[in-house]
Amino acid sequence: MAHGSPRADYDAIAPFYDSGPGRAKALDPELLAFLENRASSDAPWLLDIACGTGNQLIANRAAVPEANMVGVERSSGMLRQAWQKSRNIAWVQADAAALPFPAASFDFISCQFAIHHFQDKAGMLREAFRVLRPGGRFALRNLCPQESSDWLYYEYFPEAQRADLRDFWPPAAVVASMEGIGFATVSMDYEHLHFEQDLPQWIEIVRRRDTCSQLLAITDTAYEAGLRRLERELEQGTTPQRRADHLCLLTIRGDKPCS
Ligand SMILES: C[S@@+](CC[C@H](N)C(=O)[O-])C[C@H]1O[C@@H](n2cnc3c(N)ncnc32)[C@H](O)[C@@H]1O
């Protein structure tokens, strides 16, 4: 792929990205928790790495109208979408592992649903640490494939599970890497989402392959096989129309020590 991730071409997806399921963002609770205990009353500097179409920073504006916000992103197509939505945030095109900012520039850095795309994950973590101010916090949020083995996407598209287990580091490896880089008080939380999936609705989402990078990371043959199986089971009534589903999200956060 031309733009960074071997899993998905985000320049091609960009115009449709926000119409996919689960793209809307609420205020980031990690940012709120950080601000609650922040000693300084100066306007904070916020960075979102791999900001996509900018939804997280735009949602955060309500909590910190005075904040200086920067979104960094590899895909110019995704940045174009962000820029059309907000002109009071700096949208910067760069690789997550080569951030074009001086050391100690930001108070709070987020990186959401993107680490599996990065070729140089350790490089991104090192860069986040470098550009963070002493006393600042980095918060990483992702799907956790190691805890999501019963996710319906993996049942119908087992190649996607193998790709995810290859492309996401195990949580303990992320924590160890962050601690090795110098982050302090590194902690993590799992969020287990249990819900009911309506299969006739889900198949329409699955047919729009670009709604989910799990479907883009697999071969056409594997995608077609999973889709045909789902169609067949629904036609023949060999699967219930509503199925219990589960996936796990993971947040890992760490602080840059003050001295
Ligand atoms: C699934 S999207 C997530 C976007 C956004 N963070 C969100 O939560 O909606 C993954 C994003 O990572 C970006 N990306 C992939 N590799 C990158 C890299 N090496 N550096 C910066 N951004 C990258 C993609 O272009 C894409 O916008």
Instruction: Give the chain's domains with CATH numbers.
Output: 10-255 (3.40.50.150)
What confidence tier does 1 reach under pLDDT thresholds 50, 70, 90?
A: very low
How far lies 182's CA from each of 4, 22, 25, 259, in Å?
A: 27, 33, 30, 11
Q: How far, in Å, is the centroid of ligand 1 from the Cα of 74?
A: 7
pLDDT average, residue stretch 202-220? 94
Q: Is the pLDDT of residue 35 over 90?
A: yes
Pair 80, 52: CB distance under 8 Å: no
**Largest distance between two CA atoms of the chain:** 65
Q: Could you tell which of 13, 28, 73, 76 is best to mutate to test the pocket of ligand 1, judged by most ligand atoms within 8 Å of the CB? A: 73
Residue nearest to atom 5 of ligand 1 (CA): 52
Q: How far, in Å, is the centroid of ligand 1 from the Cα of 44?
A: 23
Tell me if 140 CB under 6 Å of ligand 1: no
How many CA atoms lie within 13 Å of 132's alpha carbon, on the beta-carbon side? 28
Q: Which residues pair with 249 in a beta bridge?
A: 143, 191
Residue 47: both structure tokens together: 């960075």
CA distance 229 to 33: 44
Pair 66, 5: CB distance under 8 Å: no
Pair 14, 81: CB distance under 8 Å: yes
pLDDT tens, residue by residue, 72-103:
999 999 999 999 999 999 999 999 999 999 99
CA distance 168 to 170: 6
pLDDT tens, residue by residue, 96-127:
999 999 999 999 999 999 999 999 999 999 99
Q: Is the pLDDT of residue 2 over 50?
A: no
Q: Could you tell which of 117, 215, 216, 251 is best to mutate to test the pocket of ligand 1, judged by most ligand atoms within 8 Å of the CB? A: 117
Q: Which pLDDT score, from 0 to 100, does residue 5 have?
A: 64
pLDDT tens, residue by residue, 156-171:
999 999 999 999 999 9
The whole-model pTM stands at 0.96
Pair 69, 61: CB distance under 8 Å: yes
pLDDT tens, residue by residue, 133-186:
999 999 999 999 999 999 999 999 999 999 999 999 999 999 999 999 999 999
Q: How far, in Å, is the centroid of ligand 1 from the Cα of 229?
A: 30
Q: Which pLDDT score, from 0 to 100, does residue 7 have?
A: 85
Task: Return the ligand 1 atom nearest residue 111 CA.
Answer: 6
Q: Which residues of 150-181 are buried (b: 16+ CB within 10 A; e: fewer)?
A: ebbbbbbbebbbebbeebbbebeebbebbeeb
Tell me if 214 CB under 6 Å of ligand 1: no
**3-class DSSP assignment, residue 57:** helix
For residue 190, what is the enclosing H or E element?
A: strand 184-198
CA distance 199 to 243: 7
Residue where the block lists tokens 């949602």: 59
